[in-house]
Amino acid sequence: MALIRRLVFCCLLVFAASLIVADALDAQGIPAEEYAQRRRAVIERMDSGAVAVYLAGTSKKRSNDVDFEFVQDKNFLYLTGYPDPGAILFLSKEKFPRNGQPTHAILFVPPTNPAMEQWVGKHMSGEEARITLGFGSTASTSEFRAFMDSTLKTKRLLYYDPRISLMLSDKVTHVRLRTGREFRNAVSKRYPGLVLRSAFRLVSSQRARKSPAELRLMQKAIDATVDAHLEAFRSAEPGMFEYELEAVIEYCFRREGCDGPAFPSIVGSGPNSTTLHYEKNTRRMRKGDMVVMDIGAEYQGYSADVTRTIPVSGVFRPEQRELYEIVLRAREAALAAVKPGVRFSELTDAAMEIIRAAGFGKYFNHSVSHHLGLDTHDPVGYGPLEEGNVITIEPGIYIPEGANVDRKYWNIGIRIEDDVLVTKDGYEILSKEAPVEIDAIEAIMAQEGIGNLPVGREKETR
């Protein structure tokens, strides 16, 4: 009987644990095994006798004693999935004993601090990290300094995050070091012969190829961004302020469960449409303006980046139509060039050829593509395209007032940007649900949007 009771109890425990794991998987999106696999791939790329250190992000001051909302460092997020600040990832090429278990990796997690928890809540504990993030071994960051000191004495190569000098200067090691150079000098004095290299390059080529789990998260961010565009198309009308469209857009991001915008939303109308990264969004839009909306939701750390350009009145004027159709053809040309082995410069050349032939080459002055992923401009190296890359295709024409062209073109900026998966022999447009054709845009703009509804006290007076 006692045995049966124990068996039932054990089954219940296993069931409860599986619920926790299932819940965590659901919340994380990336399975624990994939995080472990990413770390193994980095370790494979390390030289023998090497160790690597990656740091979590730190909070950034917004005003007096208020910080910006915390955003995890993207390399750290990629390798750990750990959501909170202050943690440290340690990797070793060779296995080393840790509590009797040989391991390649330790996640150092800040110690619990009940006084702090009352203000900011609990951070993820070492135990949770072991269950949900695939770590065999975790420790407290209070042990990190002593651990590193004894480890580095026996190692010949350290891949490091340049921010480690900040880390060493305050809470973790209590060594006062301010600059990267001071850090490197102090390290070579204490550990003669130890070679220092950046830890970032070990991750970047890997981050360039998106896994199926990553593509699912990116599609979610892109879908919310597409919906935001549709709702902005419907809502736009002369007399509205740019920030009203921004509000519609960012409402859609949050409504669909995204973290928020991955970068400041660009809603540039009239003259502002010719400024590439205009983000004040304070102008009142007028009949006859074009509006560039370059926006992207972030979902579980992954960014979308989709641009559409619309006439605020809902109907393209002839000269707007003319320029828009050139950009549309440049988009087709760049897309047609997308496949493995192609260089980024070839994509830009394909778009430029069309725009130049139309006589507006001078007014397209950026490259047509970048990698997209955890970072909006994913820092993953710009070699030839590979299957599994996600890139943007974003040709544009921007004609400022006073430009040496017929003045009917002045103050017209147009950019069309899509998020594109590189496949085995071509591409797939992940943002294809956001229309680019003039007829389709005008038809959607004729509808009502959530930006046209009265809110709050307006409801009583309208």
Binding site for Mn ion (CB under 5 A): 305, 392
φ, ψ of residue 448 to 5 degrees: the values are -85, 145
Q: How far is the CB of 205 from Mn ion (least distance, A)?
A: 21
Cα distance between residue 81 and residue 155, in whole Å: 27
Nearest approach in angstroms of CB 306 to Mn ion is 8
**Nearer Cβ to Mn ion, position 265 or 392?**
392
Cβ proximity to Mn ion: between 234 and 331 the closer is: 331
Strand bridging mode 157-160 / 50-55:
parallel
List, in order, residues 6 or more apart from 180 with CB less than 8 Å away. Answer: 162, 165
Residues ≥6 apart with Cβ < 8 Å to 387: 209, 340, 422, 423, 424
- Least distance from Mn ion to the Cβ atom of residue 429, Å: 14
Please say which residue, 137 or 392, places its beta carbon nearer to Mn ion: 392
The candidate with the shortest Cα–Cα distance to 158, out of 98, 93, 111, is 93
How many CA atoms lie within 13 Å of 396's alpha carbon, on the beta-carbon side? Answer: 31
As measured in angstroms, the least distance from the Cβ of 376 to Mn ion is 7
| Closest residue by Cα to residue 75 from 229, 259, 198 | 198
280 touches 418 (CB < 8 A)? no
* Amino acid, single-letter form, for residue 44: E
Instruction: Tell me the one-letter amino acid at 246.
Output: E
Which residue's CB is nearer to Mn ion, number 392 or number 431? 392
CA distances from 62 to 68, 69, 163, 169 (A): 5, 9, 20, 22
Minimum distance, C-beta of residue 419 to Mn ion, in the bound complex (Å) = 9
Nearer to Mn ion (CB atom), residue 309 or residue 392: 392
196, 200, 170: which is closest to 86 by C-alpha? 170
140, 107 Cβ separation under 8 angstroms: no
Residue nearest to Mn ion (CB): 305
User: Given the complex with Mn ion, which of 43 and 306 has the nearer CB atom?
Assistant: 306
Instruction: Tell me whether residue 59 or residue 367 sits nearer to Mn ion (CB atom).
Output: 367
CA pair distance 366, 402, nearest whole angstrom: 20
Closest distance of CB 319 from Mn ion, Å: 26
Specify the residue, 289 or 305, whose C-beta has the smaller distance to Mn ion: 305
Q: Identify the CA nearest to 286 among candidates 271, 274, 307, 265.
A: 271
Nearest distance from residue 272's CB to Mn ion, in Å?
Answer: 17
Shortest distance in whole angstroms from residue 305 CB to Mn ion: 4
